[in-house]
Amino acid sequence: MEIEHKGGLVSAHTIDRDSWKQVGLLLVTGYSCGYILSFSNLMLAPLGWTWGIISLILVALFAAYSSWLLAGFHFINGQRFIRFRDLMGSLFGKEMFYLTWVSQILILLITNMGFILLGGKALKEINAEFGGSSIRLQYFIIITGVSYFLFSIFVPTISSMGKWLIISSVLTFTYIAILLAVVIKDGLNSDRVKDYEIRGNNTSKMFDALCAISAIVACNSAGIIPEIQSDTGLSEYLPENITGPTWAKVLINAVVFTQSIISQHAFVAPVHEALDTKFLILDKGIHSRANIFRLLCLRALLFTLNTLVAASIPFMGDFVNLLGSFLLIPLTFVFPSMIFIKVRREAAKIEKIWHWAIIVLFSVLTVVTTIAAVRLIVNNISEYHLFADT
């Protein structure tokens, strides 16, 4: 490990060493996992084909724009920022520093819990395909947590992911190709009557649509768990719904599990960086004798807690929906426009109006999607059971 002091920055992890190609590959395929890429059923079902596709496109465009906008503030007045919280704290004070940091920590930790749950479900599906004994989901969740822990030891930082991102890309496109082939085959061979009507009364449709929009926002942002449930009877994990040859279902779930090991590391890396910078000896190598025990303890503590929560609360999707609505929308859409208005004081009036409109629009969206998420929890509270074998 090298201590990075560039521009006054101190981090236990590498700064300013990787090419833009590796960063781009991380953003495109590192953050894409089995949940996100099969999540459209929970987005389209409550919205319908027309509004579902329109919403997917609009949110994707806004998310890309917000990411581009935030990336433009990598440097401000010659000062470099490698952490969102530092940027917000520098511009808006300590209160925004802590608000941003707490929001990110909550989102990233629950993201990791969701990945552990995803990996456990994929392994359970593989076991079911081979006609194995009915092993509880919690055992597969433990196996997943251990796998993530081992990966975090051998690949401790985002920068060290390198070739793993190429593997992630291959796995991602393999998953897409096989899943599309199986889904198309199911659709062509199915004799079921296709009914795309949106169910429920007007109130139910409205709240379900808001939950779907929240899910779309979450899946177009790099900081939320890919395990959000809308108030529908559909599974949040698409491979559970498909038929087809055993080899295809086993391969799909194996790819999902393997790729999730890589993808989850990209999400939880900021937490690792904060802990490593705080507790490791910075002038020693990250795998040195002086640091290896500390590294093992930090990673073990993190993944033990996350695995325990994922195993005990496999219905956490509803609560993640709440946190995603309340925290992720401001982080993704509101804060970048706040930064623009603060930094670009000389900007044209029309630009300022545009960013104020974004702030108002997504603040309102934060409120209404949060209300929808609370309603979902209230409606489903009777179905919650600790350590449920779902």
SS (H, E, C) 154-199: HCCCCHHHCHHHHHHHHHHHHHHHHHHHHHHHHHHHCCCCCCCCCC
- Residue 275: inside a domain, yes or no? yes
Average pLDDT for residues 203-228, to the nearest whole number? Answer: 63
| Span 65-84, average pLDDT | 81
Q: Is the pLDDT of residue 43 over 80?
A: no
Measure the CA–CA gap between 247 and 243, rounded to whole angstroms.
11
Tokens at 234, concatenated: 């559909």
Phi-psi domain of 77 (left: phi exceeds 0; alpha: psi -120 through 50; beta: other): left
Of 211, 217, 388, which Cα lies nearest the Cα of 314? 388
The total number of structural domains that make up the chain: 1
- Give the pLDDT band of residue 97 (cuts 50, 70, 90): very high
Q: What is the pLDDT of residue 224?
A: 34
Q: Which region among 60-74, 127-141, 308-322, 361-375 has the lowest average model confidence (pLDDT)?
A: 308-322
| pLDDT value, residue 283 | 81
- Residue 315 placed within a domain: yes
Q: In which residue are the tokens 């426009």 written?
A: 337
Q: What is residue 342's predicted lDDT score, i.e. its pLDDT?
A: 92
Distance CA 231, CA 55 (A): 18
More confident residue, 220 or 115: 115
124 within a domain of the structure (yes/no): yes
Share of the chain above pLDDT 90, in %: 16
What is the reported pLDDT for 306? 92
Within the chain, residue ranges assigned H as helices are 20-25, 34-37, 40-71, 84-92, 94-129, 137-154, 163-189, 202-219, 246-279, 289-312, 317-323, 329, 335-343, 349-380
For residue 390, tell me if it sits in a domain: no
End-to-end CA distance of the chain: 42
Residues 307, 309, 315, 316: is their CA dihedral positive or negative? negative
pLDDT-derived band of residue 332, with 50, 70 and 90 as boundaries?
Answer: confident
- Best CA proximity match to 213, nearest among 367, 28, 33, 26: 367
Which CATH number is 242's domain given? Answer: 1.20.1740
Q: Higher model confidence: residue 321 or residue 9?
A: 321
On whether residue 389 sits in a domain, the answer given is no
Asked whether residue 201 carries a pLDDT value surpassing 90, the answer given is no
Give the tokens for residue 164: 């793993």
Helix or strand or coil: residue 78?
coil
pLDDT at 357: 95
Angle between helices 163-189 and 246-279 (to 10 degrees): 150
Determine the residue type at 98.
Y
| Interhelix angle 94-129/84-92, nearest 10 degrees | 160
The label of the residue with tokens 């104020």 reads 356
In a domain, 277, yes or no: yes
321 vs 40, more confident: 321
Domain of 145, in residue numbers: 6-72+82-383
pLDDT at residue 96, rounded to an integer: 92
For the chain, give the mean pLDDT: 79
Closest Cα to residue 179, out of 241, 221, 231? 241
Chain mean position to CA 171: 18
Q: Which residues pair with 124 in a beta bridge?
A: none
Q: Tens digit of pLDDT for each residue in 238-255?
A: 566 666 677 888 888 888
Does residue 1 lie in a domain region? no
Give the rounded percent of residues in the chain with a pLDDT score beyond 70: 76
CA distance 8 to 14: 14
Residue 264 lies in a domain: yes
With bands split at pLDDT 50, 70 and 90, how would you rate the model's confidence at 381? confident
244 torsion bin: left (phi>0), alpha (psi -120 to 50), beta (else)? left
pLDDT per residue as tens digits for the range 356-378: 999 999 999 889 888 888 887 78
Predicted confidence at residue 223, as pLDDT, reads 42
pLDDT digits (tens, 9 = 90+) for 113-157: 888 988 888 898 888 888 767 788 889 999 999 999 999 999 888
Quote the pTM value. Answer: 0.82
